[in-house]
Amino acid sequence: MKQDLIAPSILSADFAKLGEDVEAVIASGADMVHFDVMDNHYVPNLTIGPMVCQALRSHGIQAPIDVHLMVKPVDRIIPDFANAGATYISFHPEASAHVDRTLQLIRDNGCQPGLVFNPATPLDSLRYAIHNVDMILLMSVNPGFAGQKFISTTLEKLMQVRAMIDESGLEIRLEIDGGVNLENIGAIAQAGADTFVAGSAVFGAGNDSDPNRYDSVIGQLRTAIAQAR
Ligand code: DX5
Ligand code: ZN
């Protein structure tokens, strides 16, 4: 299994001072920046695009940027995110007419491709695509908003995908996204995730005036994962 990564979702960061907020979570031990892209079409919300990704790179953020595309169609925007400094680019298979082509497009643009499955979406497209993904992302909420409740049937799905990855012998990250917090992250780790997105649990932790609030919550998340191992 790959090394555990904590990826705060900047959807819950302070957009008025995004660069500083991202710098602060990385300085506090976060491994990766989870970057939620919503188009008010595939999901009923509208967020950020390649310009903001580029702005984070220009600001000096060097951590991997994990772009989660909740957009339809997908392909047009991929080169823009690659040029803007994305590391991973994940998309929902039902948002692409040609899943294999989109995966290849991400790779051809120098990024690492991922497939995302909503809570009720079956894993069918993995059957022929697993050899071409670097990440599998399971949604544990319906995509579109931060701060929703973790859908517990995702634990069973995590175990299923963990078994598929182990059986494949491939180096594929297994990421969980939605409603992850201090109470459930241990069970999520036990079910097989190695990459943990947390939006409100990280950026909403503690008191704004406490300079150590991110250190504290990221430390606690990491401890809870370690205890589950
Ligand atoms: C939901 C997004 C998530 C979300 C996670 O569509 O993909 O990344 O921001 O936020 P929390 O951790 O608050 O559920
Ligand atoms: Zn996300």
Active site residues: 36, 177
> Is the CB–ligand 1 distance for residue 49 below 6 Å?
no
pLDDT digits (tens, 9 = 90+) for 87-126: 999 999 999 999 999 999 999 999 999 999 999 999 999 9
> Is the CB–ligand 1 distance for residue 198 below 6 Å?
yes
* CA dist 159 → 6, 53, 149, 166, 218 (Å): 19, 32, 20, 11, 24
- Tell me how far apart the alpha carbons of residues 57 and 49 are, in angstroms, rounded to a whole number: 13
Q: Flag whether pLDDT at 80 surpasses 90.
A: yes
| Model pLDDT, residue 1 | 79
| Model pLDDT, residue 52 | 98
Q: How far is the CA of 211 from the centre of ligand 1 (A)?
A: 23
The CATH number of the structural domain formed by 5-228 is 3.20.20.70
Residue with structure tokens 């991929």?
Answer: 78
Residue range 29-37: average pLDDT? 98
- Tell me how far apart the alpha carbons of residues 173 and 164 are, in angstroms, rounded to a whole number: 12
| Model pLDDT, residue 208 | 86
pLDDT digits (tens, 9 = 90+) for 152-188: 999 999 999 999 999 999 999 999 999 999 999 999 9
Residue range 204-222: average pLDDT? 94
- Degrees, nearest 5: CA angle 31-35-36: 140
| Model pLDDT, residue 211 | 87
Enter the pTM of the model. Answer: 0.98
> Is the CB–ligand 1 distance for residue 213 below 6 Å?
no
Question: Cβ-count burial of 78 within 10 angstroms (0-12 exposed, 13-18 middle, 19+ buried)?
Answer: buried
Instruction: Work out the angle between the directed axes of helices 18-27 and 50-59 (0-180°, nearest 10).
Output: 60
Q: What is the DSSP letter of 43?
A: S
